[in-house]
Amino acid sequence: MTALIEGNSPGSVVHEASPVDFDTYGTIYEPRGEARKAPFGAGADADVYPFRGRIDPNGEFPPEAGRYHLYVSLACPFAHRTLIVRALKGLEEVIGVSVVDPIRDGRGWAFRAGADPSRRHGGLGQTLDRANGFALLSQAYEASVPGGVYTGRVSVPVLWDTRSGQVVSNHYPEITLDLGSQFNQWAGEPGLDLYPVPLRDEIDALNDVVGPHLNEGVYHAGFATTQSDYEAGYREVFETLDLLEELLADGREFLVGGRLTEADIRLWPTLARFDSVYHGHFKLNRNRLVDLPNLWAYTRRLYAIPAFGATTDLDQIRRHYYGTQLHINPTGIVPPSPRIDWSL
């Protein structure tokens, strides 16, 4: 199941997951064999985010440089947010990162170094587990519960505490808020406030629309198994895109308050994936993002900011969606990227 590789520190050993094997383990959506112990979305009523710790100077997890570690996928839009905030705040030397393989079989997210073609993106690309040497991300979840038995969903991002050896949080909205505010003592950009108090009501109101109807709405359409569910998801996605296109018609540079905020960070990863994945793979084909001039100009402006562009790996994104979601794309064929001009 795993290979042993010498780690960076003396005597340390890092485990690498065995290659993706759909025949043995099935897919994350229909796992087989030993992978059945932790199926995707286990239990319709299960709490998808059982770890909700917060970084708090007076709490169990106080801010410290070098103490915390992020587990992410470059393909996942929700994990992508944490990388954007980490880069914007200049926390690259403060918060470590390990990047899972974008392809998942029934065992879920796994660590494989491999011959990763995407390492050109700012030294990212899939890695082995730099914090614990785990082969599977599920091991981090198992290490964080009594008895080591975890049967819930294993998701990214994960914020890990290297001191206590447990997951702090897998709740992506709170992870970005904490990264953006609790490490200013060590941040390269301590004055950058992505969730300013005077704008919070406006940010929250916009997030309450974009979150369920666009960030999650693309999955409502893409994962639909009935025509009516697909059409409902399709409508909510394009209604939200139209609303945003109108909002940006006044020429504003950012969504709220004339400055970069959490609202932009939560929206942008979905926009970045739209033409490459959601338009075709999820059948959201009314138009491409490039056909919406205000939204496309906004998307390109943010891409030009290194924290956005340098953390965006369209190769891993396409490989993940087309190569993992075999219930939508049974052949696993990954198409080349459409021609997208990101330049301003």
Long-range contacts of 28-36 (CB under 8 A, 24+ apart): 28/104, 28/105, 28/106, 28/108, 28/324, 29/325, 29/326, 29/327, 30/106, 30/327, 31/106, 31/107, 32/106, 33/106, 35/105, 35/106, 35/107, 35/108, 36/106
Domain boundaries 2-181, CATH class: alpha beta
Active site residues: 76, 219
Consult the annotation and say whether 273 binds a ligand. Answer: no
pLDDT of residue 121: 45
pLDDT of residue 13: 76
Consult the annotation and say whether 160 binds a ligand. Answer: no
Consult the annotation and say whether 154 binds a ligand. Answer: yes
Could you write out the DSSP letters of every residue in 111-144?
---SS-TTTTTTT-S----TTT--SBTHHHHHTT
Residue 257: which of 198, 177, 304, 204 has the closest Cα? 198
How far, in Å, CA of 279 to CA of 273, rounded? 9
Domain boundaries, the chain: 2-181, 197-312
Position 149, amino acid: V
How far, in Å, CA of 129 to CA of 98, rounded? 5
Cross-sheet strand order for the sheet of 158-161: 96-99, 68-72, 158-161, 166-169
Please answer whether residues 101 and 112 qualify as being in contact, where contact means their C-beta atoms are separated by less than 8 angstroms.
yes
Consult the annotation and say whether 153 binds a ligand. Answer: yes
pLDDT of residue 111: 97
**Residue 43 burial class via C-beta count within 10 angstroms: exposed 0-12, middle 13-18, buried 19 and up:** exposed
Question: Tokens in use for 167?
Answer: 């997951």
pLDDT of residue 168: 99
Residue 266: which of 233, 229, 240 has the closest Cα? 240
Please answer whether residues 46 and 153 qualify as being in contact, where contact means their C-beta atoms are separated by less than 8 angstroms.
yes
Consult the annotation and say whether 97 binds a ligand. Answer: no
Question: Tokens in use for 186?
Answer: 């060590």
Pairing relation of β-strands 96-99 and 68-72?
A: parallel
Question: Tokens in use for 68?
Answer: 């915390």
Three-state secondary structure of 38-69: CCCCCCCCCCCCCCECCECCCCCECCCCCCEE
**Residue 146 burial class via C-beta count within 10 angstroms: exposed 0-12, middle 13-18, buried 19 and up:** exposed
Domain boundaries 197-312, CATH class: mainly alpha
The tens place of each residue's pLDDT in the chain, 344 residues long, gives: 555 543 444 346 789 999 999 999 999 999 988 776 554 544 433 478 999 999 999 999 999 999 999 999 999 999 999 999 999 999 999 999 999 999 999 999 999 986 554 444 445 789 999 999 999 999 999 999 999 999 889 999 999 999 999 999 999 999 999 999 999 999 999 999 999 999 999 999 999 999 999 999 999 999 999 999 999 999 999 999 999 999 999 999 999 999 999 999 999 999 999 999 999 999 999 999 999 999 999 999 999 999 999 999 999 999 999 999 999 999 999 999 999 999 98
Residue 222: which of 234, 208, 235, 240 has the closest Cα? 234
pTM listed for this prediction = 0.93
pLDDT of residue 2: 55
Common-topology check for domains 2-181 and 197-312: no
Residue 172: which of 73, 295, 257 has the closest Cα? 73
